[in-house]
Every structure is written in C-alpha cells, then in structure tokens.
Structure 1
Amino acid sequence: LKTIAADERYLGAEIGAIMVLHTWGQTLTHHPHVHCIVPGGGLSAHGDRWIACRPGFFLPVRVLSRLYHRLFLEKLRAAYRADKLPFFGNLKHLSDHSAFDTVLTSLRRIEWLVYAKRPFAGPKQVLAYLARYTHRVAISNHRLLAVDNDGATFSWRDYRDGARMKSMTLAADEFIRRFLLHVLPDGFQRIRHYGFLANGHRRAKLMLIRRLLAATPPSIADQAPEQQPACAVADTSERPPCPCCGSRMVVIEILPGPRRGNLTPDTS
C-alpha cells in the first residue's frame, strides 16, 4: 500500500494505515488475516499539501495484488532458506528443497486477489468497524449455547450456506485447543499503525494534515452540552496536547489522594 501510493502514477503521497490482526473464523479455526483502515489520501512528498484520492477509487487492485504476490513469495522463500519454516504432519515432505520449490512455482502461476472495500459512510461507521476487531476475543458469551459432559456447543454462521446460523459441539479439550490458538504471545502487538499514523510521528503529522485541510482539532467545545464531562474545566489553553491525536487534553475526573487522617502512622 505504501509503495504503490507513493508512486506518482497512482497517488504520489504518503498514506497512513491502521491494521488489526484477526486470527479466527466462525468455528474458531486458525484463520489469520488483517483488517486495514486506510484514509483516502495522504501527504505530498514535501509535506506541503494533502493529496486526496479520486472519488470512488483509491489504488488499482491489480497492481496491489501483483506486488503483494511477489513480496509474499520472496519472504516465504527467504524464511525457508533461513530454516524458519518447520513442517509437520502432511506438510513434512516440504522440508525437501525440490518439493518446496515445486509448490512455490505453482503459487507463482496463481492470480492473487486484493479486495478494497468502498469508503465508510462516516466516522461513526469507522469506529464501529474498528470496535468489532479491536476489543473482541475469539468467541463471545452470547454464542455459547451449552456446556455439559458432551462438550461445548456454540453457534456459528455458515457463509457458504447463505450465512445461515448453525450450532457446533466440540469436545472440551478440542474447544479449549481452538480457543487457545488465538491467545497471542506476550508482548505481541495486534494493532499496528503505519505511514503518517505511525507512532513515532503521528502527532506531528496529524497536526500538519489538519492545518493543510484547515480542519479544527476536536475539542470539548465541539461536544453537545449533554456530552461534556460534568467536572471538565472550561479553560483548556494551558493543558498539554494529547500524545496520540494532538488535540487538547480533556479532564474527565480528578481522583483525590488518600486523606491524611486515614493513614496509619509508622511506629517502627
């Protein structure tokens, strides 16, 4: 995305992206994929103007698919040569170099696809989309139908059968195994930011973009009266900016410290 968007033939801009790793399917099987949200435009190479994409069109999906196809196979081969791809079970034969090269050759002949969805209807839809993938685990409580000696029964949506709702029962050990497939390693960052949204310079880049677009940063003054925190202080001029979005910080609540009368003196 960054490479093709930077090309003058397509957009000629530095874009941003928020990407969220999603590892499960409806039946808790291992289905790793990434959900991406990309603003429809970016900063010029000199950072002096905002370049918007054409209405209804962002980047050519055929060009995206061919570049992704090549990069994926190159990195797959590099990982294999560095002995970072162990194979087990039905795939153990791929440990042989000739067998692995045969599979790579067949993958090169396949046309890969990239699907870019149309823009969201507005900010609320963007937040609703993000919330579905950033604050959920592999299965929610409402999908659990029963837990008994036969195992765990849960509902799932079969998209190959017209998105019909069905139920599935798994033995307890298999249900736990599938669920634990989606517990990420300690310290693994499931949400990542790229381009002008990268953590290192997001604040400065967003302030620059707002200035180029003559957009006012969101503040407490923009909220409806019923949305304003009751204990927010009116004067925000001296508050530091938010390290994430660059807007003025808003005081939601001030927590009082411990009362001295409740402290037990140290007599040791």
Structure 2
Amino acid sequence: MRAPLEVADIFRHCGPQYRQTHADGLSRAQRRAMRAIELCRTIALGGHVEQCDACGHQRIAFNSCRHRCCPKCQSLARAQWLERRQAELLPKVEYFHVVFTLPEPIAALAYQNKRLLYDMLFRTSAETLRMIAADPKHLGAAIGFITILHTWGQNLQHHPHVHCVVPGGGIAPDGEHWTACRPGFFLPVRVLSRLFRRLFLEQLRRAFNSGALHFYGPLEPLSEARAFAAWLAPTAQAEWIVYAKPPFGGARQVLDYLGRYTHRVAICNHRLQRFDGDAVTFQWKDYKHGAASKAMTLAADEFIRRFLLHVLPDGFKHIRSYGLLANRHRAAKLATCRRLLGVVAPTQETSGVMDDYRDRYQRLTGTSLRDCPVCGRGHMVCIDTFLPGALPRAPPPHHVH
C-alpha cells in the first residue's frame, strides 16, 4: 500500500530548487517554514525507540517540527487549546459566527504589509463588533469573542479574512443584567459592513500618511499620494463582505467548529491527490458553484508559491480574544456572566504532572498513540532516545515507514 501523499514530500523533492530559483523573494519566515516541514518526523530531528510491552514489537518515532504551518503538527496544539476554551463557553447562550473579509485590492496590499494590515484587520473587525453591539439601537451590551485569521481560500490564493465566534449577548451597561440578542439574530450585517469599511479605510489612510506602508512591484506607483488616493477611492464605495452564519446548535458545536478552524493550515495532507515530481493535484471546494468538490492541478513551483503566501510573520498571533474574553480580565468577566446567567463554572479534568504528549493526546482526542499496531493488546513504551542526526543504538528489526 502506497504511503499517503504529504506536503512534506513536495517540499523535500522541489524545495531546494525553489529556494534557489526564488532566493530574493523568500522571507526568513517562509524559509523557516519550508525547512521545518521538510525535516518534520525525520532523523534530522531525532526521536525515540518504542517497544510493545506485550509482543516486543519495536518502532522508531521521529520528533515533530511543531511549526504552525506544518500539516502534521497541529492535532495536539489544537486539542490543548480547545480544552482551555471549553471552560469559557456559556450555557443557555446562542453562539454566532461572523466573517470579515478584505476586498481583493486591499488584500494585495496586505500581502506586502502582512503584519501591519493583518493587525489592522483584527483591530477594526473587533472594534466594529464591539461598537455595534454596545449601541442601544442594536444590542446595547458589552460582548466578548474569539477571532481567528485565515489568509487562504480553497484554491490556496491569498484571501485574508477573520472568523469571529461570538456569544449572542453581553453585559448591560449597569453591569447587573445579561442582555441577550433576538433568537437566531445577532447584529445587522449591513451595519457591520459599513462601519468595518469606514474604520479600516481610516486606519489605512493614517498608515499611508505616516509612511508605514510599503509598495513593491505592480503596487510601487501607489507610494505617491495622489495615486494612492485614486486607487483607494473605489473601495470606499464598494460593499465590503461581512457574513453572519446561522447560530451554532450549542456549546459542543462551537467546540467542533473551533477545532476545525483554529489550527488549520493552508492545505491539509488529506486534500492532496497526486504528485508526479512536476505537478500537484489536490481537492478543493468551489464555493461559487455550490461548494462543488473539484480537482486542481498546479505546477509544483506554483503550489509551493501559493502555500508560502500564507506563512505569517514570526511571532504573529493568529488567534485573539476581545472584550469580555480579553486575556487581562477574562476570568473576572466570565464569572460575572455566569452570575448574571445563573449558571456555574464547568469543572475541568486536570492532567498529572507526569502527563507526556501521548497521555495528553489520548485524554484530549480519545485516540491512543500507545496501543501496539501489531498485537493490539500491549502498549508502546519508550526504551531509547536519540539526538538529531543520530541513529538509535538498537534499530528495530522491522522495516519502518
């Protein structure tokens, strides 16, 4: 049986030539992401030898790169993040999903100014939600929410947008009442869209006037003030896309959704179909035609280019919390919300101090990494470790993939 195709296979085969061909256009973060994915779960990162305590079967387990762009390294991070979020969900409250998307011309500029404009997207979408929710004409309450940045569409093109998961209510101005939204309806989308557009364009103009924006290639002429103003004018008249999905069915649905979206990378390995050394074929959903499932084939060079479009600047936080869920006062505000709703805080299981990654993975996902793949009765126990680049002292006699 042929091993499943991985992004790492494409990077290992074509990455060295890509780095040489595009040496001047790759950022340090992109180079680091490529290198991490290529080395993930190989001898270059070291690892350990495991042996079944029942049948004696041995296997080598190489270490993971743990890079956030690696399709293989997000399961445990996602499970741990979700465990922390579970305690913050409020029962008896509808949760809504709101998406803010940058128009295509602004998206092109955002790619050349990732840190500045992605921060701006976070800031203005959050301010939009908080301002409209606080308005007595709409909700009239202080709200809290989680925002997640995605920069890709299904075809891997650059498509920056943020997903916001928002409880359908908040704390009234007097601090002593919970104000709930109308069942099935959170905030008016058109009002959100207009305010989002105004706030973002105001901040973008300020960034230009302060000299904070950079322009390269086809956008270089926009560094002149008159050209920039003319280029920006149509976006001030266009409708910016803000999409509010129907409310989630309950707290479990919220967690399931967050689990799919929070630690996602541009493309998962299971969407890859073929790679012949020159071209990559992958599955994608065409949302312009009813989410029809289609296959797309790209030259390997173009596939790598599109994948690297979505590597974020070093240290950039792609998941942020605002309002009642902001880090500095989350615990106190959630306690107030529960008091006003008349609910108690959920109890959480805590892991022991000896919990290693396999115990945590099973506790959080329900999937065991310890079960012996041969006899199914025993557990795999670590009997040796080895450093990066070294071989284990007693390699398993079985062939290891």
1:154 match = 282
Query: How far, CA to CA, are the matches of 1:118 and 1:161 in structure 2?
Result: 20
Query: How far, CA to CA, are the matches of 2:218 and 2:311 in structure 1?
Result: 25
Map residues 68-217 of structure 1 onto 2, 5 A cutoff. Answer: 68-217=196-345
1:253 match = 352
Quick one: percent identity of the two aligned structures? 61
1:41 match = 169
Query: How far, CA to CA, are the matches of 1:162 and 1:211 in structure 2?
Result: 44
1:64 match = 192
Unpaired runs of 5+ residues, structure 2, are 1-128, 356-401
Query: How far, CA to CA, are the matches of 1:188 and 1:31 in structure 2?
Result: 17
SS at match of 1:92: helix
Query: How far, CA to CA, are the matches of 1:183 and 1:114 in structure 2?
Result: 24
CA deviations on 1:219-259 (whole Å, 9 max, x unpaired) are 2xxxxxxxxxxxxxxxxxxxxxxxxxxxxx53333429xxx
After TM superposition, the score normalised by the length of structure 2 is 0.54
Query: How far, CA to CA, are the matches of 2:194 and 2:353 in structure 1?
Result: 53
Q: Please report how far the alpha carbon of residue 70 of structure 1 lies from its aligned counterpart in structure 2 after TM superposition.
A: 0.9
1:13 match = 141
Aligned residues: CA RMSD: 1.8
Q: Please report how far the alpha carbon of residue 169 of structure 1 lies from its aligned counterpart in structure 2 after TM superposition.
A: 2.4
Question: Greater CA deviation, 109-118 or 39-48?
Answer: 109-118
SS at match of 2:331: helix
Query: How far, CA to CA, are the matches of 1:209 and 1:147 in structure 2?
Result: 52
Query: How far, CA to CA, are the matches of 1:36 and 1:10 in structure 2?
Result: 18
CA deviations on 1:144-163 (whole Å, 9 max, x unpaired) are 11222222221112222332
User: How many residues in Structure 1 have an aligned counterpart in Structure 2?
Assistant: 227
Decide whether aligned partners of structure 1 residues 112 and 137 sit closer, same or farther in structure 2, where only a CA change above 3 A counts.
Answer: closer
1:265 match = none
Question: Greater CA deviation, 44-53 or 14-23?
Answer: 44-53
AA aligned to 2:352 is E
2:380 match = none
CA deviations on 1:41-76 (whole Å, 9 max, x unpaired) are 001223211111122322222222221111111111
Query: How far, CA to CA, are the matches of 1:146 and 1:57 in structure 2?
Result: 43
1:233 match = none
Unpaired runs of 5+ residues, structure 1, are 220-248, 257-268
Question: Greater CA deviation, 160-169 or 137-146?
Answer: 160-169
After TM superposition, the score normalised by the length of structure 1 is 0.78
Q: Please report how far the alpha carbon of residue 195 of structure 1 lies from its aligned counterpart in structure 2 after TM superposition.
A: 0.5
Q: Please report how far the alpha carbon of residue 113 of structure 1 lies from its aligned counterpart in structure 2 after TM superposition.
A: 4.1
Query: How far, CA to CA, are the matches of 2:285 and 2:268 in structure 1?
Result: 13
Decide whether aligned partners of structure 1 residues 76 and 145 sit closer, same or farther in structure 2, where only a CA change above 3 A counts.
Answer: same
SS at match of 2:244: coil
AA aligned to 2:265 is V
Q: Please report how far the alpha carbon of residue 93 of structure 1 lies from its aligned counterpart in structure 2 after TM superposition.
A: 2.5
